[in-house]
Amino acid sequence: MSRTLAWISVLSLWLCLSAATAGAGKPVFNFKDGVTTRADEGLPFSEMGPYSPRGQFFTYTYTFVLYLDDASSATIQFTYWKVYNLSRHGLLFSFIDRGERQYLQKPIFESSRFRYQPDPPELRLGRNFFRYAPPEVRLHLDLPAEGSSPAMKADLLLAMRTPGWRPGRGPVHYGSPDGDWYDLVVPVPWADVSGTVTIAEETRKVKGWGYCDHNTQTVLPTKQLGWIIALRSFGERHSINFLEYNAPAEYGRTRTTWILVMRDRRILYATDQWEREVLEHRTDEKTGYRYPVRVAVRIDQPGIKLEGEIRGERLIEVIEPLEELPEWVLKVAKNFFTAPAMIRQNAAVDWRLTMPGEGIDEKFTLRGVFENTIVE
C-alpha cells in the first residue's frame, strides 16, 4: 500500500469509528455575532494563519475554486490533518479541461516540507505555494507525474476585486458554547485570475475568476455535517457565492450558512438569512449518487431582494474518498457511511437583484461551479 493510502486508511477508519459515538439532539451555536456584510473591513493577516494543532483531532484547509473563460475549472486545496499523534499535509489539484476531462493529483507531504510565514502570509508544501499579499494572491503548483496522472503545473495570479471577509466574529461550536468548533474566513471572495496551466508539458494561458476560503476545525466532520451545498458564480460585474453546511441528525440538521452578494468590486450584502429549494435532482449512472441540478435561491429582507435559479449544465467530477481504501477498511467504513462523495458541476445561474437604496434592479446570468458533498 502506498504511504498516501496508508495515511488515508488510518484517518478514515478513526473517523468512521468516532462517528458511531455521536450523541443525539445536541445544539449548534452558529457564527458568533452573526453573518453581516462588513464590506470594507478586510481580513487581518493573523486570521490567515494555519494555527497550531490542538486536541485529539485538528484540521485546516485552504480551498481555491477557479472558473475559467473556456469552461475549464480547478479546485486546489492545501490541507492538514492531525489525529492523535499522526499528522500529514496534503495537496489536491483537480483541473477539469474545458469542462470535459479531469486531471487529478493528491500528493501527501511530510511535515519537513511544510513552511509558513505570517507577513505576508505564505504557505509552502515542497515546491508548491500560495502567497497572500492583497490585492494579489500568487499560486504556484509543480507536481511531477505519478502513476497514470501526468505532471501538472500552474502559475496563477488572483487579482482581488474585494477585500477579504469572514462570516462572523468567532467560530461555530458544537454541543456547547465552548465545545468543539469550526471556523471559516474568506480571504478571496472574488478575483480575476490569469496565468498558465501546464498538463503533461502542454502549457496554455488561462483567465477567468477565482475564490478562496480557509476553514479550521476541531469538530469531527462526521459530527459536523451530513450534506454540504456550495456555489461560486462569477461574471464581469457580479459574483454571488454561498456555502451551507447541514448538520447530521444528531445535531438537529442545523444549517450553518452564508451568502455573499458582490458587484463592481464591492461586497454589497452578506447574510445567513436566505432560503433555497431543490427543484430537480439527477442520478449519476456511474456511481448511483443523486444530486441536485436545479435549485432556487432567495433573499427577501429590507433593502434587498434576490432571486436566482441554479442550473447544473455539466457534471465535471465525482470524488469518492472511500473507494481509495483497502478492502478491510472499506468493510468497516461502510457500516457508518453511505458516502462521502464530492459532486461538482459547471452551472449557470439566472439572478434578479433589487436593492432600492443602491439604485439596483438588475437581471443577469453568472457561471461557475456548483458543489454538493454527501457525508451521511
Segment 93-103, tens digit of pLDDT: 999 999 999 99
pLDDT at 47: 93
The closest alpha carbon to 158, from 234, 103, 228, belongs to 234
347: alpha, beta or left? (left if phi > 0; alpha if psi -120 to 50): beta
pLDDT at 322: 52
For residue 12, give the 3-state DSSP assignment.
Answer: helix
Give the pLDDT confidence of 289-311 residue by residue, as tens digits.
Answer: 899 999 999 999 999 999 999 99
Q: What is the pTM of this model?
A: 0.91
Please report which confidence band the pLDDT of residue 335 belongs to, taking 50, 70 and 90 as the band edges.
very low
The closest alpha carbon to 123, from 90, 150, 162, 152, belongs to 90
Of residues 53 and 321, which shows the higher confidence score?
53
Average pLDDT across the chain, whole number: 89
Let me know: does 138 contact 131? Beta carbons within 8 Å: yes
- The span from the CA of 212 to the CA of 189, in Å, is 6
327: enclosing H helix or E strand? helix 327-333
Let me know: does 375 contact 227? Beta carbons within 8 Å: yes
What percent of the chain clears pLDDT 70, i.e. is strictly above it? 88
What average pLDDT score do residues 319-333 get?
Answer: 51
pLDDT at 145: 96
pLDDT at 376: 62
- C-alpha dist (Å) from residue 269 to 139, 213, 252: 28, 18, 28
Give the pLDDT confidence of 146-172 residue by residue, as tens digits.
Answer: 988 999 999 999 999 999 999 999 999
Let me know: does 121 contact 132? Beta carbons within 8 Å: yes
**What is the DSSP code (8-state) at residue 226?**
S
Structural domains in the chain, sorted by start: 3-374 (2.40.370.10)
Give the pLDDT confidence of 102-118 residue by residue, as tens digits.
Answer: 999 999 999 999 999 99
Residue 375 above 60 pLDDT?
yes
For residue 169, give the 3-state DSSP assignment.
Answer: coil
Please report which confidence band the pLDDT of residue 19 belongs to, taking 50, 70 and 90 as the band edges.
very low
The closest alpha carbon to 308, from 359, 369, 233, belongs to 233
Residue 22 above 70 pLDDT?
no
pLDDT at 117: 96
Residue 7 above 60 pLDDT?
no
The closest alpha carbon to 74, from 201, 244, 203, 232, belongs to 232
pLDDT at 17: 45
CB neighbours of residue 362 within 10 Å: 12
Residue 338 above 50 pLDDT?
no
- Rg for the chain, CA atoms, rounded: 20
Please report which confidence band the pLDDT of residue 370 belongs to, taking 50, 70 and 90 as the band edges.
very high
pLDDT at 129: 98
Give the pLDDT confidence of 41-66 residue by residue, as tens digits.
Answer: 999 999 999 888 777 889 999 999 99
